[in-house]
A and B are shown apart, each in its own frame.
Chain A
Amino acid sequence: MKIIITGGSASGKSANAEKIICKYAKNKLYLATMQPFGQAAQKRIERHLNLRQGKDFDTEECFTNLADFRPKKQYDGILLECISNLLANEMFSPDGIGFDNAINHILQGINNLEKYCKVLVIVTSEIFSDGETYPYETMQYCKLLGQINQILFNLSDMAVESVCGILLQHKGDNLL
């Protein structure tokens, strides 16, 4: 089963994603994708670490090439956080696959992860509503994230949006 959760900045996505996976999985892996560069990233990582405390997650990191990622064991649930970081890494980091193949590469990665768990919870982001125009690279990033979100919503059994910490159901039965 695949569940996707989206939302804007500070909308409670992570807390809700954890709630969902804790409900469906006992034995679970938190798969982090944020590269720990800079103060802001450090602060976000710390906040997420605190949030997960006491919830009994294994934690691993994967910044690029999700298709080659091999978890140490089989899990009930894997929480992948998040597509927006993974896409940025694939597009902009030296280890990334680049703009042209980023979407397919990440989708192969999702297929790969599904082999290692019964429930996969995927976190992504809403970044599409500020009406701003950015440099070419940023606009491409927004476009690809929009495309991959559409594909993932389509492939998911349940899709939800976190708004002020409240989950709005966009697809599938209410599993909470």
Chain B
Amino acid sequence: MTVLIIGGAYQGKKELAKKLFNLDDNDFIGRDSKAVYNLHEYIKTNNITDVSNFANSLKDKIIICNEIGCGVIPLDKKLDDWREITGRVCCEIASFADIVIRVIAGVPQFIKGRI
């Protein structure tokens, strides 16, 4: 099962993921981990050339990513690209995810699927 959890920074996304899917901190560690935390940070520091391939590599995981696209378009091209790729990756994951949750102040809104 693929789950995408999005929301602004500091909204309790990780705590919610732990509670809903019985995860502990170890589940977020390592290449074959059950869950991925701060996907936007990973995208910032890694060169993603193929959005679709990258998104597919995250199938069957619980993925947590900040929403970073709702601001003024940055003048710095690198930051602009980062927002663009993060958005596209999230659209791609959401298209095949079983569940997509948007978290606001710790409260989950199920925008696709249900538990």
Say whether, besides A10-B83, A10-B86, A40-B80, A164 and B71 are in contact (CB < 8 Å).
Answer: no
Say whether, besides A10-B86, A10-B87, A163 and B102 are in contact (CB < 8 Å).
Answer: yes
A164–B84 Cα gap in the complex (Å)?
12
Inter-chain contact A165/B84, CB cutoff 8 Å:
no
Interface size on B, residues (CB 8 A): 27
CB distance from A167 to the nearest CB of B (A): 9
Inter-chain contact B80/A8, CB cutoff 8 Å:
no
Chain B window 48-85, contacts with chain A (Cβ cutoff 8 Å), 1 for yes, 0 for no: 00000000000000000001111111000100100111
Which chain B residues lie closer than 8 Å to A136 at the CB level? none
CB distance from B81 to the nearest CB of A (A): 9
Inter-chain contact B71/A166, CB cutoff 8 Å:
no
Which chain A residues lie closer than 8 Å to B91 at the CB level? 10-12, 164-165
A125–B68 Cα gap in the complex (Å)?
13
Stretch at the interface among B17-25, B27-35, B93-101: B93-101
Which chain B residues lie closer than 8 Å to A8 at the CB level? 67-71, 87
Among B85, B91, B100, the one with the most A-chain Cβ atoms within 10 Å of its Cβ is B91
Pick from B72, B80, B83, B95: contact of A165, CB under 8 Å = B95
Closest to B92 in A: A165
Which chain A residues lie closer than 8 Å to B86 at the CB level? 10
Which chain B residues lie closer than 8 Å to A132 at the CB level? 71-72
Which chain B residues lie closer than 8 Å to A11 at the CB level? 69, 87, 91
Chain A window 1-36, contacts with chain B (Cβ cutoff 8 Å), 1 for yes, 0 for no: 000000111111000000000000000000000000
Which B residues have a C-beta under 8 Å from some C-beta of A? 4, 6, 8, 67-73, 77, 80, 83-88, 90-91, 93-95, 100, 102, 111-112
Which A residues have a C-beta under 8 Å from some C-beta of B? 7-12, 40, 126-132, 134, 138, 142, 163-166, 168
- Beyond A9-B70, A130-B70, 11 extra complex contacts between A and B, CB < 8 Å: A10-B85, A10-B86, A11-B69, A12-B87, A126-B70, A127-B71, A129-B8, A130-B71, A164-B6, A165-B91, A165-B94
Selected A-B contacts with CB under 8 Å, 21 pairs: A8-B68, A8-B87, A9-B73, A9-B83, A9-B84, A10-B88, A11-B69, A11-B87, A12-B91, A40-B77, A126-B70, A130-B72, A131-B71, A132-B72, A142-B72, A163-B102, A164-B6, A164-B94, A165-B90, A165-B91, A166-B112
